[in-house]
Amino acid sequence: MNLGWPVVPCFPSSANPHPISLVRLSVRSVHSAFNRALLAAIPLEVVNFWVIGYPAAMHPVSHLSQNPAVALQWYVIHLGGIIVSDHSVYLREHAALDSIVFFIAGYTSSAILLLAILWLAGLVRRTLRKLSSPLKQAA
């Protein structure tokens, strides 16, 4: 019985002893959410890194980094890069490499954060759909 879910043929294995059966394919939705998060993280990180800039320095484009809330989110998003550059004298001496590490750390953190937000939004949407479906209560 197909409930409208995408299905793929599945061949026999130890977990599935039936000769050929249909298995629900939910990998496509995971890949699309992952791709959307990776794509949406690019402009967010570009704005966060090049427009807002490093909070401890004066930035020529914007003074937004002087706002404490913006500075705090910048430090939290780029925490991985801060830790890596703090432990490496070589990175601290080469500003270009340090900037690349900050960008990669911020991009990765932004993508993970967006993926978590998309997952949570999907969970809420599915829960609301289940709660709003007409169910006949047995009295």
Q: Is the pLDDT of residue 21 over 80?
A: no
- Name the band, by pLDDT with cuts 50, 70 and 90, for residue 62: low
% pLDDT > 90, the chain: 16
Has residue 13 been placed in a domain?
Answer: no
What is the domain count for the chain?
A: 1
List helix spans (H) across 58-137. 68-77, 79-87, 89-93, 95-132
Has residue 59 been placed in a domain?
Answer: yes
Domain of 119, in residue numbers: 26-129
Has residue 89 been placed in a domain?
Answer: yes
Average pLDDT over the chain reads 76
Has residue 64 been placed in a domain?
Answer: yes
Has residue 125 been placed in a domain?
Answer: yes
pLDDT at 65: 65
What's the pTM value of the predicted model, to 2 decimals? 0.66
Has residue 4 been placed in a domain?
Answer: no
Average pLDDT estimate for 104-129: 91
CA distance 9 to 15: 14
State both tokens at 128. Answer: 């609301």
Which CA distances in Å does 4 have to 7, 16, 21, 109? 9, 22, 16, 35
pLDDT at 1: 46
Has residue 112 been placed in a domain?
Answer: yes
Average pLDDT estimate for 56-60: 68
Contacts of 118 (CB under 8 A, 6+ apart): 33, 36, 37
CA distance 46 to 99: 12
pLDDT at 5: 47
pLDDT at 124: 92
Has residue 121 been placed in a domain?
Answer: yes
